[in-house]
Structure 1
Amino acid sequence: MIIEDDETATKIYEKFTEKVEGFQVIASASTGKQALELLNVFTPDLILLDVFLPDMKGTDLLWEIRKELRSVDVIMITAANDAHTVSEAIRGGAFSYMMKPIMIDKFLDTLEQYKETRTKLTNLKTIEQNDVNSFFRMKSREEQAAKEQDPEDLPKGIDKHTLKKVRAQMEKIKDSINAEEFAKTIGASHSTVRRYLEYLVANQEIEVEIMYGTIGRPERRYRKR
């Protein structure tokens, strides 16, 4: 079920959802009141919920849903980036929180993660700590230490020290940025920075957005996931 007041966004989410096997959009609502009325009729497995609705805040609706329908999972999709809203979503038990503008790879990856988690919880009789860590996307100290001691097998042309510098700088970027702009921030060439940014995209550490202008080639802009 999709709860979103933007009709265009709803259609986009429906189209994205159709790309993931096992998912079907069975209803949509544009207000909190309409959503609650629909939830009196049927119970979806998963709700994609916007925060900014015409009649109530999505996080308030999340708590209303939790009062009666604890078995329903919720993924927040919103432009809200304030700490209070994110905290409310976590406390309300949201499975994930996707910030607009939504990248299709992030959307599809989140649905795949949800499907994998739900399948495991349905099929497993007992749960091990490693399973719990996976569900909550946590790493144990041993796993983290092993990762730090076992460096990445980097491809040719990717230096670990430069990669570390690019990662650190990317963490400071709040919005999207193109390779030329990023190159100026770390004092490297455009071609070098482009190579490292594309490596991080391939490694699913950052996202790339294609911006189509009126003239010239499309612009590739990078942002944190």
Structure 2
Amino acid sequence: MANQSIQVMIIEDDETATKIYEKFTQKVEGFQVVASTSTGKQALEMFNVFVPDLILLDVFLPDMKGTDLLWKIRTKLKSVDIIMITAANDVDTVREAIRGGAFSYLMKPIMIDKFLETLEQYKETRAKLFNLTTVEQKDVNSLFRMKTVEEPVPAEKGSLPKGIDKHTLMKVRGQMKETNGSKNAEELAGTIGASHSTVRRYLEYLVSNNEIEVEIRYGTIGRPERRYRNRRN
């Protein structure tokens, strides 16, 4: 099943539009347009001999409204997926398409890039559903194309930036936890046996991670001194 072409039926009364959908659907790998029809009645008759995987369905058909046909299809063929393609821009039609379980809703005039993107999204979703046996919330979010807010991951549990070694980071972090008051990079470097520039890099990383804070001391000579301390509660 995973390697089989996605069988597509086009239900559209505009012959030119049908040819366009067919031409560009065939350009997407994994899709095959097998049938097309211009009326709802013809489509229902065709279902007796052929059941597609995906239907590209217009709303304005000569004999019935596409959303009415959508519900007839849902009653007869629950496994068929549907993408609405229509000039209908009223909220009631969109609402009915959502309730009927349409995968997507494309408005005419069709933008080819959006059309191709929607087919790719459908193919990806179909493949995920075929390969998964159980799902987690992140899988459901992906299938329903919902935005996921990722929780921040502590540095030691995620991948560290280039130039930050976990063992050295542990030493610097440990020394700072034992520090009362503040230290500059040179003072800390002498404690752990590393260079001033190396320790400075790790201290700045801890500052960016909100683990410690930096204070600037201005002297009478030279550059201001950066001193590091544990964050105040």
| TM-score, normalised relative to structure 1 | 0.63
Residue 90 of structure 1 pairs with residue 98 of structure 2: yes
Gaps of 5+ in 2: 1-8, 153-233
Residue 100 of structure 1 pairs with residue 114 of structure 2: no
**3-state DSSP class of the match of 2:55?**
strand
- Counterpart residue number, 1:221: none
Residue 55 of structure 1 pairs with residue 84 of structure 2: no
Greater alpha carbon shift after TM alignment, 130-139 vs 87-96 = 130-139
**3-state DSSP class of the match of 2:97?**
helix
Q: Which amino acid aligns with 2:28?
A: V
> Which of the residues 77, 82, 86 maps onto 1:69?
77
- Counterpart residue number, 2:54: 46
Residue 130 of structure 1 pairs with residue 158 of structure 2: no
- Counterpart residue number, 1:206: none
CA shift at 1:117, angstroms?
A: 0.2
**3-state DSSP class of the match of 1:24?**
strand
Q: After TM superposition, list the pairs within 5 Å mapping 1:1-225 onto structure 2.
A: 1-140=9-148, 142-143=149-150
CA shift at 1:90, angstroms?
A: 0.1
**3-state DSSP class of the match of 1:18?**
helix
1:130-187 per-residue CA deviation (whole Å, 9 max, x = no partner) reads 11111111124x34x98xxxxxxxxxxxxxxxxxxxxxxxxxxxxxxxxxxxxxxxxx
CA shift at 1:94, angstroms?
A: 0.1
Gaps of 5+ in 1: 147-225
Structure 2 Cα separation of the partners of residues 12 and 54 of structure 1: 20
Greater alpha carbon shift after TM alignment, 22-31 vs 126-135 = 126-135
**3-state DSSP class of the match of 1:120?**
helix
CA shift at 1:126, angstroms?
A: 1.1
Structure 2 Cα separation of the partners of residues 90 and 130 of structure 1: 22
CA shift at 1:37, angstroms?
A: 0.5
Q: Which amino acid aligns with 1:67?
A: T
Greater helix fraction, Structure 1 or Structure 2:
1
Over the matched positions of the two proteins, sequence identity in percent amounts to: 82
| TM-score, normalised relative to structure 2 | 0.60
Structure 1 residue runs of 4 or more that deviate by more than 4 Å after TM superposition: none
1:111-141 per-residue CA deviation (whole Å, 9 max, x = no partner) reads 000000000000111111111111111124x
Structure 2 Cα separation of the partners of residues 89 and 63 of structure 1: 9
Q: Which amino acid aligns with 1:47?
A: I
Structure 2 Cα separation of the partners of residues 138 and 18 of structure 1: 28
**Larger-gyration structure (1/2):** 2
CA shift at 1:67, angstroms?
A: 0.3
Q: Which amino acid aligns with 1:43?
A: V
- Counterpart residue number, 1:162: none
1:58-97 per-residue CA deviation (whole Å, 9 max, x = no partner) reads 0000000000100000000000000000000000000000
CA shift at 1:43, angstroms?
A: 0.6
